């Protein structure tokens, strides 16, 4: 049975002149459209949904999983199938305020190779790692981050994202926090090292400018192009190299205008290894702003607005996209977004794309 939602009003979608790959700044028309509806809505969590991740099952993509956080001091990582049904046997409880979650593939632990999920435990400043799809903890109790940082206010772990370097095969985790300095060291990046079935973390850099307005939570990595994006919530979206060897230069600062409230969840839909879309949640307006992943023809770091998508989510904090074909119901991929009613909403990509954006064939 399909779980559906009611529309929450009507929004104006601004369509920019030109093709999706060559956006311009001139607006030509405004089209009024109702909210895009999800195909499924997940079972409710107990406390407060925040961020989802998608694990693509390599043996049967239709049996892929959605992992989502239930943010509370007695929180959990929930696991859902693609119809939004909670898989009770895989839910991990007793996590102290898990905030964000991400998924990685093919981590060599020495005694085995695993796909894995990682979440940040805010109340302990620890990263918790779980093998997939069985959701067994790799390092029981987690691994502390921000060691040596002065003041507990700078150790409130929130955002997490994973990066696997396609050239070197190295794996990294990027950790953000609720409070941080404005001197360009807000985010900490660690290399994930493993031996004899256990993980250790090696700090490789501190980076990331901060406006001082609100916080940095949402982080997304484009592994193929080698970039990190994060939401400086009260200011815009910033872009850096993912490879720490390439330095800490800020490559772009976009999405600075047109947001009603916080800049929140970031997800990337990949048409191929170089093109696609960056979706950013406008939390206060229940919209997702869409930008070209590849930049403009003259500048790969120029990300001009393509369109805005009105979704049925309420005050969405986190989201995730995948362009993998996930079976007959999601042949062109999926978009999953948190909603402030203790659920995650699951959309077919073609419904998100509408007549404006492209789909991966």
pLDDT digit string (tens) for 278-300? 999 998 889 999 999 999 999 99
Query: Which residues partner with 49 through β-bridges?
Result: 70
**Alpha helix segments (H runs only) across the chain:** 349-353
How would you label 6-22 residue by residue, b for 16+ Cβ within 10 Å and e otherwise? eeeeebebbbbeeebee
Q: How far apart are the first and last CA of the chain?
A: 27
Assess whether pLDDT exceeds 50 at residue 30: no
Report pLDDT for 153. Answer: 79
Q: What is the pLDDT of residue 34?
A: 65
* pLDDT bucket at 231, cuts 50 / 70 / 90: very high
Tell me which H or E stretch contains 50.
Answer: strand 49-55
Residue 123, C-beta contacts closer than 8 angstroms, at least 6 positions apart: 73, 96, 97
Output the DSSP codes for 222-243. Answer: ETTTTEEEEEETTTEEEEEESS
Domains identified in the chain and CATH numbers: 10-353 (2.120.10.30)
Give pTM, 2 decimals.
Answer: 0.90
pLDDT at 98: 96
- Kindly report, residue by residue over 297-325, the tens digit of the pLDDT: 999 999 999 999 999 998 888 999 999 99
**Is the separation of the CB atoms in 225 and 167 below 8 Å?**
no
The maximal CA–CA distance of the chain, rounded, in angstroms, is 59
The answer to whether 305 and 355 are in contact (CB under 8 A) is no
For the chain, give the mean pLDDT. 90
Among 313, 284, 234, 233, smallest CA distance to 42 is for 313
8 A C-beta contact, residue 138 and residue 197: yes
């Amino acid at each position: 049975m399909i779980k559906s939602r009611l529309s929450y009003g009507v929004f104006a979608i601004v369509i920019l002149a030109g093709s999706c790959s060559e956006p311009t700044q001139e607006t030509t028309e405004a089209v009024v459209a109702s909210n895009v509806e999800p195909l499924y809505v997940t079972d409710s969590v107990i406390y407060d949904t925040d961020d989802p991740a998608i694990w693509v099952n390599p043996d049967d993509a239709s049996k892929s999983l959605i992992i989502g956080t239930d943010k509370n001091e007695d929180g959990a990582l929930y696991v859902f199938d693609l119809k939004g049904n909670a898989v009770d046997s895989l839910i991990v409880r007793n996590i102290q305020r898990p905030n964000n979650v991400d998924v990685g593939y093919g981590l060599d632990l020495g005694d085995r190779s695993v796909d894995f999920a990682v979440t940040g435990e805010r109340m302990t400043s620890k990263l918790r790692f779980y093998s997939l799809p069985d959701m067994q903890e790799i390092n029981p109790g987690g691994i502390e981050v921000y060691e040596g940082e002065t003041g507990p206010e700078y150790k409130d772990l929130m955002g997490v994202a994973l990066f696997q370097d396609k050239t070197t095969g190295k794996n990294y985790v990027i950790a953000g926090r609720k409070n941080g300095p404005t001197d360009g060291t807000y985010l900490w990046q660690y290399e994930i090292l493993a031996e004899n079935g256990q993980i250790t973390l090696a700090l490789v850099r501190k980076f990331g400018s901060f406006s001082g307005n609100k916080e940095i939570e949402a982080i997304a990595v484009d592994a193929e192009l080698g970039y990190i994006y994060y939401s400086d919530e009260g200011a815009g979206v910033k872009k850096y190299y993912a490879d720490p060897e390439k330095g800490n230069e800020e490559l772009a600062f976009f999405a600075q205008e047109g947001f009603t409230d916080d800049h929140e969840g970031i997800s990337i839909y990949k048409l191929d290894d170089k093109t696609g879309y960056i979706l950013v949640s406008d939390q206060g307006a229940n919209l997702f702003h869409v930008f070209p992943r590849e930049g403009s023809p003259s500048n790969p770091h120029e990300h001009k607005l393509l369109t805005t998508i009105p979704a049925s989510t309420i005050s969405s904090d986190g989201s995730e996209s995948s362009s993998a074909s996930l079976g007959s119901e999601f042949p062109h991929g999926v978009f999953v977004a948190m909603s402030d009613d203790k659920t995650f909403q699951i959309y077919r990509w073609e419904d998100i794309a509408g007549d404006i954006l492209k789909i991966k064939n």
